[in-house]
């Protein structure tokens, strides 16, 4: 990602699309640094006196694996000595994204705060992640859905309670975000190929754990939550719900909705 020590702020906003970086930083009072390598675009600047880094991750938890590990390396590894620093820094990582609701009761044009995320991508199973996974929730989900054994074993991770408390308000809806490994078949979309489980989205939408429903699907949050917890960072994911997959409705002005979420998030970030 071509980042060096000192270029990453303690507060980091991640977005999927590199074009969205400047949709956020246009609100900044100043920009001190810009870099881009492939889909990873980074800008660090200041908003109302708060130093913030905004970085695009691209799509998928494979990219999240790169971004989270390299962000951590920049702040917690002495790159010259190639040694972990004695004093480790914890970053606040806020994802701002878009998503489609799979639950009829979660209204279109909502701000969705992911209190938990279920990953279908296997990323956490490549790390020693036993201490951060919600085993009880995973077991309940596998039982509820009759999860196909040839698919990767799901994992459930909680977001940072500290950040959830900061970003939660009457303007947000809370739920569990499903983080998938693809856009078509894995998310129940059919072009020409039949699905292994045509009812998977209905099963997801009907799952409930400790008062929370699976509300939406996207492709990054579980990886962000899992790696953040393993590395000692705090993370929360916010989504503008621009579609409802159940009703077939789409936001009439998704750009305005995303702008509103960005403004909401920035005003909360300055209080962190």
Per residue in 60-93, pLDDT tens? Answer: 999 999 999 999 999 999 988 899 999 999 999 9
Q: pLDDT over 90 for what percent of the chain?
A: 90
Helices (H), 154-196: 161-167
pLDDT category, 247, cuts 50, 70, 90?
confident
Q: How far apart are CA 56 and CA 94, in angstroms?
A: 12
- H or E segment and range at residue 70: helix 61-76
Superfamily of domain 11-269: Nucleoside phosphorylase domain (3.40.50.1580)
Distance between start and end Cα atoms, the chain: 26
Poorest-pLDDT segment among 19-23, 103-107, 129-133, 142-146: 103-107
Among residues 128, 126, 171, 130, the alpha carbon closest in space to that of 152 is found at: 126
Packing angle between helix 61-76 and helix 221-231, nearest 10 degrees?
A: 30
CA distance 68 to 13: 12
| Whole-angstrom distance, CA of residue 239 vs CA of residue 100 | 9
- Kind of pairing between the strands at 83-84 and 172-179: unpaired
Average pLDDT on 237-249 reads 92
φ/ψ of 103, rounded to 5, equals -120, 120
Domain ranges of the chain: 11-269
Distance CA 68, CA 227 (A): 7
Q: Of 93, 92, 100, 89, which Cα lies nearest the Cα of 14? A: 93
pLDDT value of position 221: 98
Contacts of 149 (CB under 8 A, 6+ apart): none
Mean pLDDT, the chain, rounded, equals 95
Write down the pTM of the prediction.
0.96
Q: What band does 48 get if pLDDT is binned at 50, 70 and 90?
A: very high
Average pLDDT value for residue range 7-17: 97
How would you class 90 by CB atoms within 10 Å of its CB: exposed for 0-12, middle for 13-18, buried for 19 or more? middle
pLDDT tops 80 at residue 1: no
Q: Give residue 106's pLDDT band: very low, low, confident or very high (50, 70, 90).
A: confident
Average of pLDDT values for 235-264?
A: 94
Q: Please choose, from the candidates 226, 227, 92, 103, the residue with its C-alpha nearest in 3D space to the C-alpha of residue 164.
A: 92
Query: Considering Cα of 182, then 183, then 184, then 188, what sign does the dihedral take?
Result: positive
Residues of the chain with pLDDT > 70, as a percent, come to 100
State yes or no: pLDDT of 2 exceeds 80. no
For the cut 90, the answer to whether the pLDDT of residue 52 exceeds it is yes
Give the residue among 210, 247, 239, 245 at the shortest CA–CA distance from 16.
239
């Amino acid at each position: 990602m071509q980042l060096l020590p000192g270029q990453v702020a303690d507060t980091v906003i991640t977005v999927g699309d590199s074009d969205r970086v400047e949709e956020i930083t246009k609100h900044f009072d100043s920009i001190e640094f810009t870099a881009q390598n492939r889909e990873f675009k980074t800008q660090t600047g200041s908003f109302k006196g708060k130093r913030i880094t905004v970085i695009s991750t691209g799509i998928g938890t494979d990219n999240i694996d790169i971004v989270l590990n390299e962000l951590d390396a920049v702040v917690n590894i002495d790159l010259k000595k190639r040694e972990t620093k004695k004093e480790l820094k914890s970053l606040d990582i806020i994802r701002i994204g878009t998503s489609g609701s799979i639950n009829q009761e979660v209204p279109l044009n909502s701000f969705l705060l992911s209190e938990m995320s279920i990953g279908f991508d296997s990323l956490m199973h490549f790390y020693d992640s036993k201490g951060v996974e919600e085993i009880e929730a995973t077991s309940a989900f596998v039982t509820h859905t009759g999860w196909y054994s040839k698919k990767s074993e799901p994992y459930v991770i909680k977001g940072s309670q500290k950040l959830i408390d900061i970003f939660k308000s009457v303007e947000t809806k809370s739920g569990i975000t499903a983080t998938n490994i693809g856009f078509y078949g894995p998310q129940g979309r059919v072009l020409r190929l039949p699905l292994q489980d045509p009812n998977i989205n209905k099963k997801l939408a009907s799952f409930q754990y400790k008062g929370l429903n699976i509300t939406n699907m996207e492709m990054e949050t579980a990886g962000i939550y899992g790696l953040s917890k393993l590395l000692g960072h705090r993370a929360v994911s916010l989504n503008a719900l621009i579609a409802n997959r159940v009703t077939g409705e789409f936001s009439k002005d998704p750009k305005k909705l995303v702008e509103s979420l960005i403004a909401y998030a920035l005003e909360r970030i300055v209080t962190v």
